[in-house]
Amino acid sequence: MHFVRVLEKAPAKINLSLDVLHKRPDGFHEVEMVMTMVDLADRLEMQELDRDTIIISSQAGYIPLDEKNLAFQAAKLIKDRYEVRKGVYLHLDKKIPVAAGLAGGSSDAAATLKGLNKLWRLGISEAEMMKLGEELGSDVPFCVSGGTALAQGRGEKLTKIDAPPQAWVVLAKPPINVSTADVYGKLRAAEIRHHPNTQAVLAAIRNKDFEALCGSLGNVLEEVTLELYPEVGQLKDCMRKLGAEGVLMSGSGPTVFGLVTKEIKAERIYNGLRGFCKDVYAVRLLM
């Protein structure tokens, strides 16, 4: 089949655990993270152009539409590497909040690789796309494979694991933008007081034990982000008071998420936070 127009969903990721083991000689941090996807997604539409060009549009006024956009970089990479002489018009319907700790840009890049692979019938395997993704950012390979995974190294060494027990996820982003590079830059890896227990998170997932999962969530970057932005800590407390069973900041923040099993509880938390925060979502884990 020859596609001239392809649609791809780019879901957001959350971290159920995020640990930094040490800083490496190459300047990157050696991490250990458990990541999964939630049903909050950007939508990408890609149309083939005969002209050899990449054009990006979006309804979101606050993201770059040039070579700084990760979807643009993904399109350029695939064009260069596979010597594609055609162009693409890419429309990005942005739903994931930006600079939020939800890997929105990385997921857009992954969706672009997948979509262009179909549009231009390149026959690139998932493993090859994950390798290409590494060149675009540490979270891109995970966004290509999706599901739930343990990520090691810079985040690019992935081991697929079972899906966590199904749950509602209430996400709330306070009105601040957090730079991932800034947070990692301020982290003193050698002085971390409390490392999250990633093994406990993995065991809880293996045993499909929701309570144990909620009790073992951990993110070492909270030490930095909560100090810089106390409102993130307040938001965590607020979620807990409203009845969230497990609460954690995702990535470098500032988005905080709460896990519950019952829809009615998710609704209560969602309604309780709406007055406090503009960006609030109640979604399911993506299975």
Residue 18 near ligand ATP by CB under 6 A: no
Residue 187 near ligand ATP by CB under 6 A: no
The single residue among 22, 51, 52, 98 that binds ligand ATP, judged by CB under 6 A, is: 98
Asked if residues 275 and 157 have their Cβ atoms less than 8 Å apart, the reply is no
Q: Minimum Å distance from CB 205 to ligand ATP?
A: 21
Residue 77 near ligand ATP by CB under 6 A: no
**Residues in Cβ contact with 183 at an 8 Å cutoff, skipping those fewer than 6 apart:** 221, 224, 225, 228, 252, 253
**3 state SS of 276:** coil
Based on CB atoms, which residue is closest to ligand ATP, 33 or 242?
Answer: 33
Q: Which two tokens stand for residue 48?
A: 């083939």
How many residues form the binding site for ligand ATP (CB under 6 A)? 20
In 3D space, the residue among 266, 216, 221, 263 whose CA is nearest the CA of residue 239 turns out to be: 266
The single residue among 100, 202, 205, 249 that binds ligand ATP, judged by CB under 6 A, is: 100
The single residue among 29, 31, 101, 198 that binds ligand ATP, judged by CB under 6 A, is: 101
Residue 64 near ligand ATP by CB under 6 A: yes
**Residues in Cβ contact with 80 at an 8 Å cutoff, skipping those fewer than 6 apart:** none
Residues annotated as catalytic are: 13, 139
Residue 127 near ligand ATP by CB under 6 A: no
The single residue among 108, 156, 222, 245 that binds ligand ATP, judged by CB under 6 A, is: 108
Based on CB atoms, which residue is closest to ligand ATP, 53 or 179?
Answer: 179
Based on CB atoms, which residue is closest to ligand ATP, 107 or 198?
Answer: 107
Burial of 157 (0-12, 13-18, 19+ CB in 10 A): middle
Q: Which two tokens stand for residue 42?
A: 């950007």
Residue 63 near ligand ATP by CB under 6 A: yes
Asked if residues 120 and 131 have their Cβ atoms less than 8 Å apart, the reply is no
Asked if residues 196 and 18 have their Cβ atoms less than 8 Å apart, the reply is yes
* Residues forming beta bridges with residue 7, ordered by sequence position: 45
> What is the contact surface with ligand ATP in residues (CB under 6 A)?
63-64, 68-71, 98-106, 108, 139, 180, 251-252
